[in-house]
C-alpha cells in the first residue's frame, strides 16, 4: 500500500479535528464535510499533475488538501483569518489556491462547471499541455448548466476531465427520487468517453482508473467523464450524524464503514503521530494568526 492511504487518513484526521473544535466557535464558516469520501479526492489528485487545474464544490476540503493546498492557510481560511488561502473572505465553501492548481470552489451547485469548461477552452486556445479537472456531485447533474457545459466541452474537444462524485444524495433526497436519466447513456450521447467506478474505498484504485481516462484526454484532446460512487458519513452540512432522522439507511453506513480502508488500514503508529503533530501545529498557527482589518474589506475584489 502506497502513501496514498496515509494522505486519505491525514485528510480524515483534519476533518475530525474540525468536528472536535467546531463547538468552540473558532470557525467562521459552515462546513460540508466529506468524511467517507476521501479516496475519491486522493485518487483523483494523485492521477494528475500540479499544473493541471482543478475546480470543485463547497464540499472540497479533501480536494484542496489532496491537490497540495497549504494546511495552515486552510484552517486560517475557515477561521476568517488574513493568512487564509482567500484572506479569510471565502470560508470553507470558497477555497482556492492557484499556486497548486486548485482554482476555486463555489456554494452554488453546478456553478464551477461552466467556469472549468472556460478554463479548458483557454488552455486549448493557448496550446498549453495542462488539463482541467471539474469535480461536482450527483445533484449538480440536474442543473441545466451541467448539460450546456458537457455539450460545449464535447463540441470543442476540450482537455477536461469531469469527475462526478456520486454520494447518492443531494442534501436529504436520494438519487432515485431525483433523476430519470441514465448517466452513462446521457454522457455517451454527448460523444464523451464515460467510465463508472463502483464504490471506491481505495485511493490507489481510484488513481489507476483516473489515470487511464486522463491519458486519453491528453492524447486526444477530448473530454473524459468518470463517475465514482462514494458515501458521505455525516449530515449534508455540519458535524453531526443524520442517520437517525430516517432519510438515509443506516445499513448503508454500516456496510460502508465495514469496507472503509481509511478506517480499517493498519497504520504505522509513528507515522500517524507525525501527521497528528503537523495538523495540530498548523491549527495552532492559524489560531494565532490575525483577523483582517476593516481596511481589508474592499481589497481582493477583482
Ligand atoms: C443552484 C443551487 N441550487 C440549490 C442549492 C442548495 N443546495 C446546496 S447543496 C445541494 C445538493 C447538491 O448535491 P450534490 O451536487 O450531489 O453534492 P453533495 O452535496 O452531495 O456533495 C443543494 C440542492 C444551491 N446551493 N445552489
Q: How many angstroms does the Cα of residue 166 sit away from the middle of ligand 1?
A: 12
Q: How many angstroms does the Cα of residue 109 sit away from the middle of ligand 1?
A: 5
d(CA 233, CA 173) in angstroms, rounded, equals 15
pLDDT digits (tens, 9 = 90+) for 193-224: 999 999 989 999 999 999 999 999 999 889 99
Q: Is residue 1 very low, low, confident or very high in pLDDT (cuts 50, 70, 90)?
A: low
CB 102 within 8 Å of CB 63:
yes
pLDDT digits (tens, 9 = 90+) for 97-128: 999 999 999 999 999 999 999 999 999 999 99
Check whether 248 has a pLDDT greater than 80: yes
Residues 6+ apart with CB under 8 A from 267: 5, 6, 9
Q: Which three cell numbers stand for residue 25?
A: 466557535
Residues 6+ apart with CB under 8 A from 150: 162, 187, 190, 192, 223, 225
Model confidence pTM above 0.85: yes
pLDDT digits (tens, 9 = 90+) for 49-88: 999 999 999 999 999 999 999 999 999 999 999 999 999 9
> Could you tell me what percent of the chain has a pLDDT over 90?
96
Nearest atom, ligand 1, residue 32 CA:
19
DSSP letter (8 states) at residue 295: G
- CA atoms 292, 296, 300, 302: torsion sign: positive
Q: How many angstroms does the Cα of residue 126 sit away from the middle of ligand 1?
A: 33
pLDDT digits (tens, 9 = 90+) for 17-38: 999 999 999 999 999 999 999 9
The confidence score (pLDDT) of residue 141 equals 98
Q: What's the full length of the chain, in residues?
A: 302
Q: Which three cell numbers stand for residue 55?
A: 475546480
The confidence score (pLDDT) of residue 263 equals 97
223 lines ligand 1 (CB under 6 A): no
139 lines ligand 1 (CB under 6 A): yes
pLDDT, averaged across the chain:
96
Amino acid at each position: 500500500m502506497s502513501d496514498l492511504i496515509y494522505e486519505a487518513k491525514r485528510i480524515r484526521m483534519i476533518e475530525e479535528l474540525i468536528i472536535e473544535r467546531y463547538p468552540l466557535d473558532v470557525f467562521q464558516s459552515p462546513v460540508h464535510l466529506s468524511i467517507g469520501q476521501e479516496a475519491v479526492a486522493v485518487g483523483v489528485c494523485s492521477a494528475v499533475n500540479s499544473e493541471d487545474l482543478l475546480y470543485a464544490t463547497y464540499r472540497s476540503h479533501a480536494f484542496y488538501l489532496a491537490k497540495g493546498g497549504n494546511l495552515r492557510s486552510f484552517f486560517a481560511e475557515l477561521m476568517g483569518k488574513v493568512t487564509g488561502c482567500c484572506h479569510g473572505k471565502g470560508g470553507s465553501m470558497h477555497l482556492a489556491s492557484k499556486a497548486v492548481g486548485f482554482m476555486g470552489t463555489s456554494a452554488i451547485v453546478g456553478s464551477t462547471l461552466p467556469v472549468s469548461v472556460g478554463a479548458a477552452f483557454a488552455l486549448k486556445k493557448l496550446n498549453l499541455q495542462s488539463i482541467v479537472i471539474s469535480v461536482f456531485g450527483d445533484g449538480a447533474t440536474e442543473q441545466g448548466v451541467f448539460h450546456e457545459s458537457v455539450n460545449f466541452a464535447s463540441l470543442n474537444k476540450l482537455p477536461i476531465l469531469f469527475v462526478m462524485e456520486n454520494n447518492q444524495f443531494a442534501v436529504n433526497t436520494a438519487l432515485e427520487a431525483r433523476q430519470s436519466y441514465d448517466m452513462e447513456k446521457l454522457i455517451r450521447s454527448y460523444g464523451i468517453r464515460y467510465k463508472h467506478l463502483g464504490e471506491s474505498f481505495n485511493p490507489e484504485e481510484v488513481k489507476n482508473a483516473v489515470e487511464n481516462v486522463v491519458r486519453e484526454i491528453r492524447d486526444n484532446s477530448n473530454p473524459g467523464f468518470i463517475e465514482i460512487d462514494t458515501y458521505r458519513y455525516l449530515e449534508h452540512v455540519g458535524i453531526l450524524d443524520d442517520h437517525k432522522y430516517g432519510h438515509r439507511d443506516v445499513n448503508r453506513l454500516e456496510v460502508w464503514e465495514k469496507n472503509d480502508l481509511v478506517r480499517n488500514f493498519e497504520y504505522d503508529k509513528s507515522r500517524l503521530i507525525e501527521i497528528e503533530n503537523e495538523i495540530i501545529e498548523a491549527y495552532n498557527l492559524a489560531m494565532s494568526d490575525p483577523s483582517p482589518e476593516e481596511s481589508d474589506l474592499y481589497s481582493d475584489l477583482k
